[in-house]
Structure 1
Amino acid sequence: MVDRANRPSALNAPSAAAPGPQVEITGSGAASKVTATLPSGESVQVLLYGATVISWKSNGGKTENLWVSEKAALDGTKAVRGGVPVVFPVFGPPPKSGHATSALPQHGFARNSRWEYLGKSTSEDALDSTSVKLDFGLYTTGLSEDAHKAWPLDFGLVYSVTLAKDSLQTVVNVRNEGEQSFEFQFLLHTYFRINDITKTQVNGLLGVQYIDKVLNASTHDQKDASVAITGEVDRVYKSIPQDTTTIVEGGSPRFDVVRDNLQDTVVWNPWIEKAASMGDFSPDDGYKNMICVEVGAVNGWQKLEKGEVFEGGQTIKSLL
Structure 2
Amino acid sequence: MDRPNKPSAISPAGGAPKPSVHTEQGKVIASLPTGDSVQVLLFGATVLSWKSNGRENLWVSDAAKLDGSKPVRGGVPLVFPAFGPPPKDHATGKLPQHGFARNSHWEYLGSSSSESGKLASGGDDSIKLDFGLSHAQISDDAKNAWPYDFSLVYSVTLAKDGLQTMLNIQNKGDKSFEFQMLLHTYFRIDDISKVSINGLGSTSYIDKMLNATTQTQTDPTVRITGEVDRVYTDIKQDTTSILQDGKPRLDVVREGLSDSVVWNPWIEKAKGMSDFEPKDGYKKMIAVEVGAVDGWQKLEPGETFEGGMICKAHL
Which TM class, normalised by the smaller chain length?
over 0.9
- Matched residues in 1 for 2:136 and 2:151: separation? 9
Structure 1's consecutive aligned runs of 4 or more residues displaced over 4 angstroms after TM superposition are 124-128
Alignment of 1:59-208 (within 5 A): 59=53, 62-97=54-89, 99-123=90-114, 129-208=124-203
- Matched residues in 2 for 1:64 and 1:127: separation? 24
- Matched residues in 1 for 2:214 and 2:220: separation? 18
1:283 CA displacement: 0.2
Secondary structure of 2:113's aligned partner: strand
Q: Percent identity?
A: 66
Gaps of 5+ in 1: 1-15
1:18–1:127 contact (8 Å) kept in structure 2: no
- How large is the Cα RMSD of the aligned pairs? 1.4
Query: One-letter code of the match for 1:50?
Result: G
Residue matched to 2:24: 26
1:319 CA displacement: 1.3
1:261–1:313 contact (8 Å) kept in structure 2: yes
Gaps of 5+ in 2: 1-13
The correspondence for 1:56, drawn from 23, 29, 50, is 50
Secondary structure of 2:281's aligned partner: helix
1:66–1:83 contact (8 Å) kept in structure 2: yes
- Matched residues in 1 for 2:121 and 2:187: separation? 33
Secondary structure of 2:210's aligned partner: coil
Secondary structure of 1:129's aligned partner: coil
- Matched residues in 2 for 1:230 and 1:67: separation? 19
Aligned residues: 298
- Matched residues in 1 for 2:30 and 2:114: separation? 14
- Matched residues in 2 for 1:127 and 1:217: separation? 44
Residue matched to 1:263: 258
1:126 CA displacement: 12
2:50–2:58 contact (8 Å) kept in structure 1: yes
1:185 CA displacement: 0.1
> Bigger radius of gyration, 1 or 2?
1
Secondary structure of 1:286's aligned partner: helix
